[in-house]
Every structure is written in structure tokens, then in C-alpha cells.
């Protein structure tokens, strides 16, 4: 391992009971093996005697995350389910950020079974082949343990943090050996923008219903709205210039091929619009959308999002008020930064709760 290898730890542990003690133990374990560890709470947030608003505090924490991930060599992400069937959206956002800066992405989970098995609210339609979630959306790629973007971007370890750290260390050691092999070269081309930009801003709409049979039809209706407003629009079902669709029965090859398409759309766009609604009956957004949000932010894209309910989390998520904070049905702390979901989104995405045409009108006005 090189002299200084920076490692970022992404996890919702700060919301767990005694979570900070657990998080600090992870840090010390990584430091024991020679890593330089960065975490969202590393820098001082408030000076003595200073008063800041909730929104300003969330912005400062977010900038701490940006600081921690910029220049990092690797990220270890907690992929346990969180307030539903999805991992913590903020942690997946951070994975997207890390991937954008070229960091190695590793995730750990105690349950690497497929989504089709883990998601207990799945419903099977006898007339149409496939499984559906609690909201009637297709349970896309249910043979994978997590979403397409998560499976493609990260090496996923079944086990705990220590197991993940051990495999990460081993991989670094083995790759270091290869540097001493005569003639060995492993250079990956850096992906670039693959479309010619015209006078119209390019928009990529990242949604959670991309696997639905009617997705393409819906997207065409939205494309017309965007075109009429002066935008060039792309959606997850659109082919991405420079990305060849691969015909394969291998679920992981297919996942990476789709991931290549989605991330290329993000690289090509000027503006990303994110579907940040609660996903599959929980209180977290779709992991593909969360990953693409973090990936887009680190590439300097203009970011907008939409939700049906933009009330603060403290009002949206059932909780019990304690002397120190508010706890949800699993004992997790509910953030109170006046935003409807994790501060990673609140600090970087301008949110709307309008119908799509009205939202696009407001975005066009905002860009003026």
C-alpha cells in the first residue's frame, strides 16, 4: 500500500443508537492498518458562540462530505437496508461522488441475497412475467442483490465492516504485486462526453420507474414537455452515444452495460432532474437515482429534483421525540434540517412538488 492511502467511510451509523462509538471504532481499525481516514464529521462545524440555522448546518456537513471525498482513494459503504428495502440514500449518494473522482468503491452487507428474495412485499403477476413492488412498479433486475448502479460501481462483500476492510486491503496488496510484473499494464480510458452540444441545454431525467413497461411511453410525453421548454432531453431507457448495448444472459455483464449507459447520460448532460420519492414502501429514494445524484454533483451538473411530499423529515417519518432528538420506529435518529430527506440531497438539489410540466416551467425560469 502506498505511503498515504485515503479512505472514506460512508454509513448512516451517525443515526444509530451509540452509532458514533461504532463509527469511531471503524476508523481506528482502518487507521491501524495504515489508512488515512476521512469522515463527514472531521471538520469543526460551529465556532464557539456562533449560531447557525438548520439549513446552514446541513450545508456545512455536506461540504465536509465533499472535502472528505475529494482526492480520496477508496470508499467503504454500509449497504444495510435503512427505513425500508433500500440502503441509506445519503451513503449511496456518497458512493456516486466517490466513483466520480475515481475512487475504488466497496460495499458491505450481511445479506447479499437477490432483491427478489429480500424484498418481501414483492407481488407476482400471473398474466405478465415478473415481479412488482408494493407500488405496482416492476421489480427490475431482481436477480441482483442491489440496484444496477450499486452492483456495477462497487465490489460488494457479504459480511461486516471488518470483512470488507480485509478484502480491500488484500486487493490493494495483490494489485501492488502486479506493478512488479514485466510488461503488465492496466490503464482504463477515462470516459468523456460523447454528444455534440448545441444551443439547447441537455437534461437527463433520472427516475425510479425506468424498468416499467410503460416507461418509454411516459418518457416520450415528458420529452415533448422538455423540448417545448427549450431543452434536449435524455432518459434512462435512451441509448447513450458511445455505449454499445450488449446482448447477454449474464446478470452482472448486463448490469454494468446499463450502468455504463446511465453514467454516460450523466456525463453528457448539463442538468439532471432526480426522482427522489420514497421507494418501495420505505423512506429512502431509489438507489440508482441516489448514486446518479452524487455522481452528477461531483461533475458540476445543475441539479433539480421532485417529490410528492416535501415536508421536513421530522414531519414525514413517524418518530418519537426524546430529550435529545427524535427517533423512528427502529430507534434511528430522524434528521431535522428542515429538508424532506437526507441532507446530501437537501444541500445540493433544488426540490419541487409540482406536476412535471409546471416543474419544467419553473426550472426554465430558474435557469434564466
Q: CA–CA separation, 293 vs 348, rounded Å?
A: 9
Residues near 333 by Cβ (< 8 Å), separated by ≥ 6? 14, 15, 16, 325, 326, 327
Query: How far, in Å, are 90, 208, 232, 339 from residue 348 at the CA level?
Result: 12, 19, 23, 11
Inform me whether the pLDDT recorded for 126 exceeds 70: no
In this prediction, residues 279-300 reach a mean pLDDT of 96
Which tens digits make up the pLDDT trace of 163-203? Answer: 999 999 999 999 999 989 998 877 777 889 999 989 999 99
**31-47: buried (b, 16+ CB within 10 Å) or exposed (e) per residue?**
eeeebebbbbeeeeeee
| One CATH from 3.30.420.40, 3.30.70.980, 3.40.50.450, 1.20.140.10 for 5-178 | 3.40.50.450
List the beta bridge partners of residue 320.
327
Q: Is 79 helix (H, G, I), strand (E, B) or coil?
A: coil
Q: CA–CA separation, 261 vs 244, rounded Å?
A: 9
In this prediction, residues 61-71 reach a mean pLDDT of 93
Tabulate helix, strand, coil % of the chain (nearest 5).
40, 15, 45
In this prediction, residues 127-131 reach a mean pLDDT of 66
Which tens digits make up the pLDDT trace of 301-341? Answer: 999 999 999 999 999 999 998 888 899 988 899 988 888 99
For residue 222, what pLDDT is reported?
A: 98
Q: CA–CA separation, 273 vs 292, rounded Å?
A: 10
Residue 55, CB half-sphere, CA atoms under 13 Å: how many? Answer: 8
Contact indicator for 274, 203 with CB cutoff of 8 Å: no
Residues near 108 by Cβ (< 8 Å), separated by ≥ 6? 76, 77, 78, 79, 156, 157, 158, 159, 160, 161, 163, 164
Q: CA–CA separation, 60 vs 45, rounded Å?
A: 6
For residue 2, what pLDDT is reported?
A: 61
For residue 308, what pLDDT is reported?
A: 96
Residues of the chain with CATH 3.40.50.450: 5-178, 202-367
Inform me whether the pLDDT recorded for 128 exceeds 60: no
C-alpha closest to that of 211 among 279, 267, 269: 279
C-alpha closest to that of 108 among 139, 74, 140, 84: 74
Complete DSSP assignment for 10-69: E-GGGGSTTHHHHHHHHHHHHHHTTEEEE-TTSS--S-TT----HHHHHHHHHHHHHHHH
In this prediction, residues 80-84 reach a mean pLDDT of 92
Inform me whether the pLDDT recorded for 45 exceeds 90: no
The sign of the CA dihedral 271, 197, 194, 71 is: negative
With cell 446499463, the residue in question is 258
Q: CA–CA separation, 146 vs 115, rounded Å?
A: 6
Q: Is 309 helix (H, G, I), strand (E, B) or coil?
A: coil
Inform me whether the pLDDT recorded for 134 exceeds 90: no
Q: CA–CA separation, 157 vs 39, rounded Å?
A: 21
Inform me whether the pLDDT recorded for 141 exceeds 60: yes
Q: Which CATH class is domain 202-367?
A: alpha beta
Amino acid at each position: 500500500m502506498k505511503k498515504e492511502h485515503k479512505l472514506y467511510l460512508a454509513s448512516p451509523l451517525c443515526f444509530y443508537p451509540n452509532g458514533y462509538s461504532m463509527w469511531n471504532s471503524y476508523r481506528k481499525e482502518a487507521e491501524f492498518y495504515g489508512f488515512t481516514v476521512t469522515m463527514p464529521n472531521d471538520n469543526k462545524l460551529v465556532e464557539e458562540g456562533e449560531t447557525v440555522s438548520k439549513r446552514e448546518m446541513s450545508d456545512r456537513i455536506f461540504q465536509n462530505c465533499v472535502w472528505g471525498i475529494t482526492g480520496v482513494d477508496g470508499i467503504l459503504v454500509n449497504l444495510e437496508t435503512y427505513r425500508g428495502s433500500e440502503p441509506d440514500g445519503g451513503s449511496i449518494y456518497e458512493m456516486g461522488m466517490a466513483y466520480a473522482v475515481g475512487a475504488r468503491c466497496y460495499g458491505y452487507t450481511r445479506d447479499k441475497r437477490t432483491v427478489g428474495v429480500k424484498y418481501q412485499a414483492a407481488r407476482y403477476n400471473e398474466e405478465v412475467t415478473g415481479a412488482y413492488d408494493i407500488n405496482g412498479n416492476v421489480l427490475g433486475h431482481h436477480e441482483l442483490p442491489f440496484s444496477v448502479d450499486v452492483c456495477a460501481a462497487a465490489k460488494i462483500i457479504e459480511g461486516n465492516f471488518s470483512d470488507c476492510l480485509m478484502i480491500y486491503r488484500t486487493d490493494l496488496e495483490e494489485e501492488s504485486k502486479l506493478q512488479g510484473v514485466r510488461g503488465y499494464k492496466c490503464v482504463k480510458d477515462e470516459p468523456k462526453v460523447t454528444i455534440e452540444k448545441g444551443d439547447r441545454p441537455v437534461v437527463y431525467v433520472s427516475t425510479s420507474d425506468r424498468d416499467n413497461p410503460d416507461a418509454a411511453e411516459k418518457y416520450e410525453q415528458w420529452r415533448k414537455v422538455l423540448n417545448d421548454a427549450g431543452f434536449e432531453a435524455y432518459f434512462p431507457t435512451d441509448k447513450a452515444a458511445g455505449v454499445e448495448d450488449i446482448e447477454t444472459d449474464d446478470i452482472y455483464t448486463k448490469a454494468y452495460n446499463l450502468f455504463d449507459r446511465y453514467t454516460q447520460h450523466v456525463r453528457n448532460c448539463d442538468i439532471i432532474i432526480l426522482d427522489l420519492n420514497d421507494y418501495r414502501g420505505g423512506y429512502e429514494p431509489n438507489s440508482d437515482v441516489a448514486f446518479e445524484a452524487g455522481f452528477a454533483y461531483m461533475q458540476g451538473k445543475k441539479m433539480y429534483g421532485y417529490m410528492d411530499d416535501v415536508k421536513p423529515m421530522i414531519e414525514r417519518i413517524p418518530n418519537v421525540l426524546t430529550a435529545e432528538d427524535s427517533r423512528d420506529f427502529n430507534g434511528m435518529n430522524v434528521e431535522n434540517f428542515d429538508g424532506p430527506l437526507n441532507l446530501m440531497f437537501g444541500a445540493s438539489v433544488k426540490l419541487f412538488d409540482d406536476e412535471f410540466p409546471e416543474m419544467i416551467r419553473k426550472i426554465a425560469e430558474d435557469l434564466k
